[in-house]
Amino acid sequence: MIAPPPEQRVFLAIAASAAGIAACWLTTTPFGLLAPVSALYLYASNRVVLLLRAIWGFAFAGAAIVVYVYASGLPNPLLYWAAFFALALCIGEIFAAKSLRGDAVRAKWIIENMPAHTWSASSGGHIIHVSASVLCYTGELGDKTELFHELDPAGWRRVVHPDDYLRVHDRWRHSLTTGVPFDTECRVRSGDGNYRWFWSFGSPSRDDDGRIAGWCGTMIDIEENKLAEAALRERERELLQLVNMLPSHIWKLNPDGEPIFFNKRVIDYLGVAAEEPAAPVMSRLATFIETAVHPDDAIDVAKRLSRCIVTGDSFAMRYRLRGADGVYRWMSGRMEPMREEDGRITQWYGLSHDIDDLLATQEALRERERLLWQLVETLPAMIDCAAPNGEPVYRSQRLRKFLGYELEELDGGGTSRLSGTLDAGVHPDDVAGVKEQYALSLLTGKPYARRHRLRRFDGEYRWVETRAAPMRNAEGAIVQWNVICLDIDGEVRAQEELRLAQGRLARANQAASLAELSASIAHEVNQPLAAVVANSHACQRWLTADPPNIERARRVVERIIRDANGAADVVGRIRALFKQSVETGRSTIVLANVVTEVCDLMAGEAIRRRTRIDVDVDTDVPPVALDRIQIQQVVSNLIRNGLEAIDRGSGDNAIRARVRRIEGAVQVEISDSGPGVESPDRIFQPFFTTKDQGMGMGLAICRSIVESHGGRLWVEKNEPRGATFIFTLPHDAKAVT
C-alpha cells in the first residue's frame, strides 16, 4: 500500500482531531478523542508511537488503581477516562501488531527480490528457511527446505559439487563451533544439472546475552566472476610465460625506484630467487647495483637511475652485470615510467639486453677491418673501390699519392668522379679505349683488365695494368667494383728492351744463317761454275788455234755441259731442301691437334705479353695430309704476328684460333685485335714488312708452305679493328712441285 503524501497526512490528522473533539462535546465523554489518537498512531514515527503507548499504559494503570480503590462513589467521568485510556492502549497494540506484520511483509518482499539467494538457520545449523530463488535455481518445487536441513547426502550433498562438499561442510561446522562468520565459495548444481560458482556468506544473530540465536546468510552467483578470474589468470600466466621466455631481462620498480619484479631470466642469470628472504640483492636497488653491477659502472648507473627516478626521464645505459658464474657481461638497459592521466608515475618498467657477444663481435669486426685496411694500405699496389655505376668511393693512400690529389677534389667540377679521373689521368692515346672497355664492363658485369699509361703527380706517364672485378650480394646484384692498379712501367720498358734485343738477335741469326747458307751455296755452285769458266776458256783457245782443234774443243764443250748440269743439280738440291720431299714428309693428321699444340707452345709467350689465346674447334673436323713441322711453322708465325699486333694496338688482349670444316677443306682462322693490315695485297710479298726491324719473309714463306699443301692463305680486316689470317688445306692434299 502506498502511503499518502505528508500534506494529506496533516489534513487527515487535523480532520480526525476536529471530528473527535466535536464528538466529545456532543457526547460529553472523552471517547471522541480516540479519533485523533488513532491518527497519531497512523502517522507518527515509531518513537512517538512507543511514547504514546507508554503514556496510555501509565494513564490506564493509574485510572485502574483509582477505580479499584474508589470503586463505589466514583463519578462517571473518571470511569470514562479509565475506559478511554484502556481503549487507547488497545488501539496502540493493534496498530503495533499491524506495523510488525507490515514490516515482516516488507522484509520478506525485500529478501525474495534481492539479487541473491538468502537463507536462515538455527543456532544448531539447521536450515530454517531458503528463499524461493534457491528453490527455483535448484529446481525443487514447493517449500522443500527439508532437503537442506541436514548436511547429509540427501541434503546439501545433492546440490554442492562433490569436490567442494567436504570443504563447505568443514567450514560450516567450524563457524557453528566458533561463531565466526561463514564465508566460502563453492559450486552449486542448478535444476538443469549444471554447476555454477556461488559465494556464500552467513553471519550469526545473537540474543541479549550474546548467545547465537540463529544464522542469516546469502548466496551470490559468481560464475561470471570465476570465469573472468580464470581468463585473467590464464592471461596472466601467458603473459608471465611470455615475459620469462623473452630473450631479455625484464624488471619493474615502484615509484620510489625499489625493485618489485624480475623475470625468470634475471633470476637465473643472477643465480638467486626473488622470493628468498636471503636475497636482498633483489629487493633493494642500491644493494642490487652494489652487488651485481661492475664496480667501474656501479657509480654511474646509480647516479643515472637516481636522476631518472627524480626527474621522470627515461633511462638508457650500457653497463656490465655479474652473472651467477661471477663473469661480468655487457648489458644494454632501458627504463621507462608508466604514468597516470595526471602524470603521476605509478611504476617503472625496465628492459635489458645481453650485448656482450654483440660487442665482442663488433670489436672483432673492427679489428679485422683495421687489419684489412692496413693490408690494403701496405700492399705494393694501388687499390680503388667504386660504386655499381663505376663512381670511385675509396682510394688507397698509395693511389692517392701516385695521382697527387684527393678523391673529394673531383666533386663539384660538373663531371662525374670516373670521367674526371680518366680524363685527368689516362694518356690521351689510351683514354678512348679505356672508357670504352670500362663502359662495357659496367654494362655486362664482366671483369675489366687493361694496360694503359697513367699520369703521375709529377706529370710523367707510366704504364699501369688495371684490373677490376665486381663484388655481388647473395642475389647476384653488383654492390661494388674492386679495382687494383699495378705500376708496370719498369716491366713494360724491360719487355720492350727485351723485344728489341730479341729482334736484333733474330736479325743477327738470320744474317748469320743467310751468310752461312750463301757461303754453302757459293761453295757448292762455285766448283762447277769455275770448271765451266775454265773449260770455256780452253774451248775458246782450241777454237781460235790455227788450225782450230775441233776435236779438243768438242771434248771441252762436253765437260762444260757436264759441269753446268752439276751446278743445276746443286740448285735443285737446295730447292728441295726448302720444299722437302712430298712423299716422305707428310702424314694424315687432325689439323685441330696441330693448332692446339702450337697454342699450348705459345701460351708462355702470350702470358708474358698479358694476352690470352682462345681456341674454338668444331667437332666434325676431318684429318688432313700435311707436314706437321711446316704447318706448325705457319700457325706459330701467324700467332706471333697477332701477339706483336696486339702490343701495338688497343684491343682486349686476346688471340682467337678457330678450326672448322668447310666444303672440301679444313679452314683455320687466327684473329687478333691489333691495328689491322693496311696493305693486304702486298703483305705476302717477299721482303715486304710493316715492322720496324722485320725482313718481310715470314708470311711469304707461310704462303709458300700452304700453297705447297694445295691450300690458300689470305687476310681479312676485322671490325672495328684487327685482322684475321685464314688458310685452308684440302682433305686430300697432294704435293705441289
Query: Which residue intervals of the chain bear CATH 3.30.565.10?
Result: 583-730
The helix or strand, by DSSP H or E, that contains position 371, with its residue range, turns out to be helix 356-378
* CA separation, residue 678 to residues 270, 430, 510, 544, 681 (Å): 88, 21, 26, 61, 9
Mean pLDDT taken over the chain? 79
Q: Quick one: pLDDT at residue 582?
A: 47
Query: Which residue intervals of the chain bear CATH 1.10.287?
Result: 500-579
Residue type, position 439, single letter: A
pLDDT greater than 50 at residue 736: no
Q: Are strands 654-662 and 448-455 parallel, antiparallel or unpaired?
A: unpaired
For the ranges 477-481, 522-526, 574-578, the one whose mean pLDDT is highest: 477-481
Alpha carbon distance 648, 631 (integer Å): 26
Alpha carbon distance 514, 504 (integer Å): 15
pLDDT greater than 60 at residue 649: no
Alpha carbon distance 481, 652 (integer Å): 19
Q: Quick one: pLDDT at residue 105?
A: 58
DSSP β-bridge partners for residue 712: 728
For residues 284 and 301, the answer to whether their CB atoms sit within 8 Å is no
- pLDDT-based confidence at 514, cuts 50/70/90? low
pLDDT greater than 70 at residue 89: no
Alpha carbon distance 268, 556 (integer Å): 130
Taking Cα atoms as reference points, which of 43, 62, 40 lies closest to residue 53? 40
Alpha carbon distance 566, 233 (integer Å): 128
Q: Grid coordinates in use for 561?
A: 755441259
Q: Quick one: pLDDT at residue 732?
A: 66
Fold type of domain 379-487: Beta-Lactamase (3.30.450)
pLDDT tens readout for residues 300-323: 999 999 999 999 999 999 999 999
Instruction: Work out the average pLDDT over 464-481.
Output: 93
Angle at 627 between CA 607 and CA 595, to 5 degrees: 30
Least confident residue range of 159-168, 615-624, 659-668, 686-695: 686-695
CATH no., domain 246-360:
3.30.450.20
Question: Which one has a higher pLDDT value, 152 or 122?
Answer: 122
Q: Quick one: pLDDT at residue 67?
A: 59
**Cβ atoms < 10 Å from Cβ of 431:** 16
pLDDT tens readout for residues 216-266: 888 888 888 888 888 888 888 888 788 777 788 888 999 988 888 888 888
* CA separation, residue 603 to residues 92, 431, 617 (Å): 141, 29, 17
Question: Which one has a higher pLDDT value, 135 or 704?
Answer: 704
pLDDT tens readout for residues 327-349: 999 999 999 999 998 889 999 99
At a CB cut-off of 8 Å and minimum separation 6, what does 385 contact? 392, 393, 394, 395, 480, 481, 482, 483
* CA separation, residue 249 to residues 257, 264, 350, 358 (Å): 17, 8, 8, 16
CATH architecture of 583-730: 2-Layer Sandwich (3.30)
- pLDDT-based confidence at 574, cuts 50/70/90? low
The reply to whether CATH 2.60.20.30 applies to domain 114-227 is no
pLDDT greater than 50 at residue 278: no
Strand ranges, E, within 435-571: 448-455, 461-472, 478-487
pTM for the predicted model, two decimal places = 0.45
pLDDT tens readout for residues 390-442: 899 888 888 889 999 888 887 776 778 888 888 888 999 889 889 999 899 99
Instruction: Work out the average pLDDT over 379-397.
Output: 89
Least confident residue range of 476-490, 544-558, 614-628, 676-690: 676-690
For residues 265 and 273, the answer to whether their CB atoms sit within 8 Å is no
Q: Quick one: pLDDT at residue 103?
A: 56
The reply to whether CATH 2.70.220 applies to domain 500-579 is no
Residue type, position 658, single letter: R
Query: Which residue intervals of the chain bear CATH 3.30.450.20?
Result: 114-227, 246-360, 379-487
Instruction: Work out the average pLDDT over 645-663.
Output: 77
Percent of the chain at pLDDT > 90 equals 20
pLDDT greater than 90 at residue 2: no
Report the sign of the C-alpha dihedral through residues 628, 630, 635, 640, in that order.
Answer: positive
- Report phi then psi at 188, rounded to 5: -120, 135
Angle at 33 between CA 29 and CA 35, to 5 degrees: 130
pLDDT tens readout for residues 39-64: 666 666 666 666 666 676 666 566 66
Least confident residue range of 260-264, 384-388, 498-502: 498-502
- pLDDT-based confidence at 142, cuts 50/70/90? very low
- pLDDT-based confidence at 456, cuts 50/70/90? very high
